[in-house]
Amino acid sequence: MIKVSKKGNRVWVTFIQDKPAVVKGSWNDWKEEELKPRKVGYYSITKVLKPGEYEFGYLVDGKWVVEEDLPKVGTVFGSQNSLLKL
């Protein structure tokens, strides 16, 4: 799940998973960013991004996971990424 909040020309995006995970995305050349534990069964990280389009996904239990509620785009690896439009 993600939550989006806009302020001026910046957008706060919170990435949320119910298991330990890392998020990887096109905003930082696909570097892993660990979601931090917030509550029991709840992990998140908030990023401040500029308006635009970003591809991303999560590594959860060693598997690539995408957001169910966002559009998907195919990759050269035969998998899919979530497409976040801000």
Inter-residue contact 56 to 24 (CB < 8 Å)? yes
Question: Which amino acid type is present at position 34?
Answer: E
CATH 2.60.40.10, domain 2-85, yes or no: yes
pLDDT of the chain, 86 residues: tens digit per residue: 999 999 888 899 999 999 999 999 999 999 999 999 997 789 999 999 998 999 999 999 999 999 999 999 999 889 999 999 99
Tokens at residue 19, please? 């298991």
Question: Which amino acid type is present at position 70?
Answer: L
In whole numbers, what is the pLDDT of the chain averaged over residues? 94
Domain ranges of the chain: 2-85
What's this model's pTM, rounded to 2 decimal places?
A: 0.90
